[in-house]
Amino acid sequence: MQKNKWLLKNCDSLKGRRVIVTGATGGLGREICFHLASLGANITLACRNEEKANNLIDEIKEKYADVEADFIELDLSNKQSVDCFIKKVKAYNGIDV
């Protein structure tokens, strides 16, 4: 695809960088995940639906085998979910974006 060639030519590599994407399983968030993966970013999906997240992780890993992808549940309408998400993110060794 033309857009992938353009991205690779015009965007810096994100290889080895960790990026958290909220709303990752639908629409724009999903496309952002694939673009970031194409640049080598390791991706953490922050979203509500674990099944959709795991399906997307499988798709990302199938297309970009060298990219790490994982899931942390996040429901922004639930304070307890947000607090739990923050604790898990703080435990990561380096979040870049």
Radius of gyration of the chain (CA): 14
Q: Is the pLDDT of residue 7 over 90?
A: no
Task: Tell me the whole-structure pTM to 2 decimals.
Answer: 0.83
Segment (H or E) for 65: none
In the chain, what are the helix, strand and coil shares in percent, each to the nearest 5? 50, 15, 35
Could you report the per-residue pLDDT of 19-29, keeping only the tens digit for each? 999 989 888 99
